[in-house]
């Protein structure tokens, strides 16, 4: 199952995110995921495992497990490389061992002090606050992203973690409209206005953290997951599915792409199996009532500044 982007290319509705995947685990994860049926992989320079993903992809291509054109590979421009978009993209392509990206995203709507291409650092000042670069505008960054398309390095370009106002601005100054806005959205953080705004203007929405982050965000940020909610446990019994499948199916039915992460084989299979059942209108409304406007991914913990404030 796939959604056609405004660029004309198709993005598989369920993908696998590799955030916080240990480099030594990547090879088996990617190969197993492809064997199971995954065709969409979501990467980022900041995840610091592009090279390992690239090795696994190269093995998959060389052994005939899958063809390059069968996969949809996303990666992202880090904050410190806004003034070095071409070099950063080429660095990611080299590490991923690819000739082109299916999708390249601006990871966050902020330019920070340059720390060297490929070195995705977040420079902090003496007060422990993120060093923001005020000389590079988001418009300048976007036009550099557009140049990647004309150079044939990238098929589709998009944004990530942009709110309604920044998305509107991007639509206003873009020659190539953003094909995707990748945002945190899940039943506890539904962001209905932003999702509807994007879809209305032809921007597909990819839900990162579609399960509310679960164990990973609990460990880093102390947040709770919607998967522990009694409503989800009841719905899982009703549909004879896992709570994760209920949450992912909800995301699919609201026309978003979902990219859950898991290193467990059984979970990988389970997360793909969300197309053979449908939540009723009443149950979709029930889940809608659970919205807490609760963000689980909190980069302010590392940056000393809340970019969402």
In angstroms, the Cα distances linking 252 to 17, 48, 185 are 16, 29, 12
- Count of CB atoms within 10 A of residue 24's CB? 9
Q: Find the helix or strand (DSSP H, E) in which 154 lies.
A: strand 154-160
Cβ-based neighbours of 125, under 8 Å, separated by 6 or more: 131
> What are the catalytic residues?
47
Tracing tokens 């990617």 back to the chain, one arrives at 30
- What DSSP character marks residue 32? H
* DSSP secondary structure letters along 294-308: -----THHHHSS-TT
Beta strand spans in 13-152 (E) = 16-17, 40-42, 72-77, 101-106
HSE, CB side, 13 Å, CA atoms: give it for residue 252.
24
Is 107 annotated as contributing to ligand binding?
yes
Beta strand spans in 218-309 (E) = 257-258
Tracing tokens 């522990």 back to the chain, one arrives at 228
Rounded Cα distance between 42 and 16, Å, is 6
Rounded Cα distance between 97 and 54, Å, is 5
């Amino acid at each position: 199952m796939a959604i056609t982007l405004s660029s004309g290319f198709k993005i598989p509705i369920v993908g696998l995110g590799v955030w916080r995947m240990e480099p030594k685990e990547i090879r088996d994860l990617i190969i197993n995921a492809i064997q199971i049926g995954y065709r969409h992989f979501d990467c980022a320079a900041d995840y610091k495992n592009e090279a390992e993903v690239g090795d696994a992809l190269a093995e998959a291509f060389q052994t005939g497990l899958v063809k390059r054109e069968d996969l949809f590979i996303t990666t992202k421009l880090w904050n410190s490389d806004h003034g070095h978009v071409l070099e950063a993209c080429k660095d990611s392509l080299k590490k991923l061992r690819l000739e082109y990206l299916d999708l390249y995203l601006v990871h966050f709507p902020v330019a920070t002090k340059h720390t060297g291409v490929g070195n995705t650092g977040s420079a902090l000042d003496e007060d422990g606050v993120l060093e923001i670069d005020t000389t590079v505008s988001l418009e300048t960054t976007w036009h550099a992203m557009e140049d990647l398309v004309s150079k044939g390095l990238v098929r589709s370009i998009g944004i990530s973690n942009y709110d309604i106002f920044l998305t509107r601005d991007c639509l206003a100054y873009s020659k190539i409209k953003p094909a995707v806005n990748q945002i945190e959205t899940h039943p506890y953080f539904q962001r209905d206005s932003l999702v509807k705004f994007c879809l209305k203007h032809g921007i597909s929405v990819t839900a990162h953290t579609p399960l509310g982050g679960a164990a990973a965000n609990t460990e880093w940020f102390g947040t709770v997951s919607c998967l522990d909610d009694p409503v989800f446990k009841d719905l899982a019994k009703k549909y004879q599915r896992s709570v994760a499948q209920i949450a992912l199916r909800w995301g699919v039915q609201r026309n978003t792409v979902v990219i859950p992460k898991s290193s467990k084989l059984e979970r990988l299979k389970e997360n793909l199996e969300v197309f053979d059942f449908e939540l009723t209108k009443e149950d979709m409304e029930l889940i809608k009532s659970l919205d807490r406007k609760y963000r689980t991914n909190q980069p302010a913990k590392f940056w000393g500044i809340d970019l969402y404030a």
